[in-house]
Amino acid sequence: MINKDQIADQYKLIQDEISAALESLDGKAKFQEEIWEREGGGGGRTRIIQHGDILEKGGVNFSAVYGKLPEAIKKAFAVEEDDFFATGVSIVIHPNNPWVPIIHMNIRYFELNEELRWFGGGIDLTPHYVIEEDAQYFHQELKKVCDQFKDSFYQEFKDWADQYFFIKHRNETRGIGGIFYDKLTPSKAGISNEAIFDFSCALGRAFPKIYAELVNRNRAKEYTEEEKQWQLLRRGRYVEFNLVYDSGTKFGLETNGRIESILMSLPEQANWFYNFIPKSDSLEEKTLSLLKKGVQWV
């Protein structure tokens, strides 16, 4: 049976693999690493890349923390247990070029005891401009990973992502979704804990190939100042979701997590324009029309 230390070790290795791949993809910037310890138990490795040829700001973080659950989290999880262990890898990349999409990935494991343990995670894409061919490629690749483990996973987790990455106060999705799953156990997934763990690792290792393809399709495209301003507005929507709705952000703050690591998902710069209305028949208007739940890309 897979144990928490083996899971943490494999996630740490995946962090190394993704960090190296992103440095190679950018070709200029290198990650800065900070090793940190959490008061109460555990710690992690925060890796930040900034001011690259492609990557304006990005983070590839690993953590393995333990300790006592705060009362608010116990109530949210509907558990009585106090002692917890959590480990995972979390990634957010904000590119320079508006034609290159923001991407987020997270794979995580949470344990209270042998009976109460689960996996969560997913990958989702937030293009500043939705390019339909890229969206189709992205979802096809995620489906390939899901199909290795269970035929129903892709559609189930795709629908879950549509629901989760929805900005209610804007009535729009954060991007074009992807896949998302949470509190996944053998009884819910229909596969063993070991298979769920293998699935999470396969997802993590699919990330570099998927993102490199999307970057290389768009990295050389020129852009206007107007398109750059639209990118900053879309980043603002990203910030709104992460600060208002994201469960990982909330968990980190509630469990006395490291603030710099928790908020590494925020871009270096974002804008909020008052009552922005895109021009009729513009690419901006088209993008907004596709930020809806239930769009089937494959």
Structural domain includes residue 241: yes
What is residue 297's three-state secondary structure? Answer: coil
- Contact between 119 and 200 (Cβ < 8 Å): yes
**CATH number, position 243:** 3.40.1500.10
Residue 243 has, within 13 A of its CA and on its CB side, a CA count of: 11
- pLDDT reported for residue 69: 78
- pLDDT reported for residue 127: 98
- pLDDT reported for residue 59: 96
Residues in the chain: 298
Q: What angle do CA 233, 239, 244 make, to 5 degrees?
A: 130
Structural domain includes residue 297: no
How far separated are the first and last CA of the chain, in Å rounded? 35
Structural domain includes residue 212: yes
- Contact between 213 and 137 (Cβ < 8 Å): yes
Minimal CA–CA distance to 141: which of 105, 173, 172?
105
Taking 50 as the pLDDT cut, the residues of the chain under it are none
- Which residues span the domain enclosing 255? 4-290
Structural domain includes residue 276: yes
- pLDDT reported for residue 82: 76
Structural domain includes residue 215: yes
pTM of the model: 0.93
Q: CA 36 to CA 63: how far, in whole Å?
A: 9
Structural domain includes residue 264: yes
Structural domain includes residue 298: no
The residues that are catalytic are: 104
Q: CA 59 to CA 47: how far, in whole Å?
A: 6
**Residue bearing tokens 């006395």:** 256
SS3 content of the chain, % helix, strand, coil (to 5): 45, 25, 30
Domain count, the chain: 1
Any residues with CB less than 8 A from the CB of 143 and at least 6 apart, and which? 154, 298
- pLDDT reported for residue 255: 73
Phi, psi of 204 (to 5 degrees): -60, -40
pLDDT tens, position by position, 34-61: 999 988 899 999 999 999 999 999 999 9
Structural domain includes residue 296: no
